[in-house]
Chains A and B, each alone.
Chain A
Amino acid sequence: MICKQNPAKVHLTQIVGDKIQKVDLCEECAKQKGVNDPAGFSLADLLLGLGASQEIAPAGREEIKCPNCGFTQADFKKAGRLGCSQCYTTFAEGLEGLLKSMHKGTKHLGKVPLAMRQGRDLTERLKYLQKKLDRAVSAEDFEQAATLRDEIKETREQMNQVAQK
Chain B
Amino acid sequence: MTIHEFLSPPVENARRTGPHDRIVMSSRVRLARNLRSVPFPGWAKKAERLKALETIRPAVESLPQLAGAFSETMDNLGPLDKQILVERHLISREHAVKNVGSGLILNKEESLCVMINEEDHLRMQALRPGLQLQQAWQAIDQIDSDLERRLDYAFSADLGYLTACPTNLGTGIRVSAMLHLPGLVLAEQINQIIQSVNKLGLAVRGLYGEGTEALGNVFQVSNQMTLGEIELDIVERLNKVLLQIIEHEENARGMLLEKKPKIVLNFIGRAYGILANAHSITSKETMNQLSLMRLGIDLGVFPVADRPLIEELFVITQPAHLQKNYAEKLPAEERDIIRADMLRERLQNLSRPNPKLPGNGGGPLDKRA
Given contacts A98-B166, A102-B167, contact A108 B153 (CB under 8 A): no
Q: Does B162 contact A (CB under 8 A)?
A: yes
If over half of A's interface residues share one DSSP class (helix, strand or loop), that class is named, otherwise mixed; here it is loop
Which B189-242 residues have a C-beta within 8 angstroms of A? 194, 198-199, 201, 203-205, 211, 224-232, 236
On chain A, the residues within 8 Å of B354 by CB distance are none
A89–chain B nearest beta-carbon distance, Å: 8
The residue in chain B whose Cβ has the minimal distance to the Cβ of A148 is B232
The residue in chain A whose Cβ has the minimal distance to the Cβ of B148 is A113
On chain A, the residues within 8 Å of B229 by CB distance are 104-105, 109-110
Contact assessment for B225 and A103 in the assembled complex, using a CB-CB cutoff below 8 Å: yes
On chain B, the residues within 8 Å of A84 by CB distance are 38-40, 43
Q: Does B360 contact A (CB under 8 A)?
A: no
Contact assessment for A81 and B42 in the assembled complex, using a CB-CB cutoff below 8 Å: yes
State how many residues of chain B have any CB contact under 8 Å with chain A.
51
Contact assessment for B158 and A79 in the assembled complex, using a CB-CB cutoff below 8 Å: no
- Mark the stretch among B169-177, B248-256, B325-333, B334-342 that contacts chain A: B169-177
Q: Can you give 23 contacting A-B residue pairs, CB < 8 Å?
A: A17-B211, A18-B194, A18-B204, A19-B198, A71-B43, A82-B165, A84-B38, A85-B34, A85-B162, A99-B169, A102-B166, A104-B229, A105-B227, A106-B158, A107-B228, A108-B158, A108-B227, A110-B171, A110-B173, A110-B229, A111-B141, A111-B171, A112-B160
Task: Give the most central of A102, A110, A143, A151: most B CB within 10 Å.
Answer: A110
> Which residue of the partner chain, among B39, B203, B231, contacts A110 with CB atoms under 8 Å?
B231
Which B36-83 residues have a C-beta within 8 angstroms of A? 36, 38-40, 42-43
- Mark the stretch among A3-11, A26-34, A52-60, A114-122 that contacts chain B: A114-122
On chain B, the residues within 8 Å of A99 by CB distance are 159, 166, 169, 227
Task: Give the most central of A17, A102, A120, A144: most B CB within 10 Å.
Answer: A102
Contact assessment for A128 and B155 in the assembled complex, using a CB-CB cutoff below 8 Å: no
Contact assessment for B155 and A113 in the assembled complex, using a CB-CB cutoff below 8 Å: yes
On chain A, the residues within 8 Å of B42 by CB distance are 79, 81
Q: Does A142 contact B (CB under 8 A)?
A: no
Task: Give the most central of A84, A106, A114, A151: most B CB within 10 Å.
Answer: A84
On chain A, the residues within 8 Å of B224 by CB distance are 19, 102
Q: Does B145 contact A (CB under 8 A)?
A: yes
Contact assessment for B39 and A108 in the assembled complex, using a CB-CB cutoff below 8 Å: no
B53–chain A nearest beta-carbon distance, Å: 16
Q: Does B347 contact A (CB under 8 A)?
A: no
CA distance A116 to B159 in the complex (A): 13
The residue in chain A whose Cβ has the minimal distance to the Cβ of B164 is A81
Contact assessment for B154 and A85 in the assembled complex, using a CB-CB cutoff below 8 Å: yes
Which residues of A come within 8 Å of B, CB atoms?
17-20, 68-69, 71, 75, 79-85, 88, 95, 98-99, 102-116, 120, 128, 132, 143-144, 147-148, 151
The 10 A-B pairs with the shortest beta carbon distances in the complex, nearest first, are: A105-B228, A108-B160, A85-B154, A104-B228, A103-B227, A110-B171, A83-B43, A84-B39, A85-B162, A113-B148
B193–chain A nearest beta-carbon distance, Å: 12
Contact assessment for A143 and B228 in the assembled complex, using a CB-CB cutoff below 8 Å: no
Given contacts A95-B166, A99-B166, A107-B158, contact A114 B148 (CB under 8 A): yes
On chain B, the residues within 8 Å of A104 by CB distance are 201, 225, 227-229
The residue in chain B whose Cβ has the minimal distance to the Cβ of A98 is B166
Contact assessment for B144 and A111 in the assembled complex, using a CB-CB cutoff below 8 Å: yes
CA distance A147 to B153 in the complex (A): 25
Q: Does B87 contact A (CB under 8 A)?
A: no
The residue in chain A whose Cβ has the minimal distance to the Cβ of B138 is A147
A13–chain B nearest beta-carbon distance, Å: 11
CA distance A84 to B154 in the complex (A): 9
CA distance A119 to B164 in the complex (A): 27
Given contacts A103-B226, A120-B157, contact A110 B170 (CB under 8 A): yes
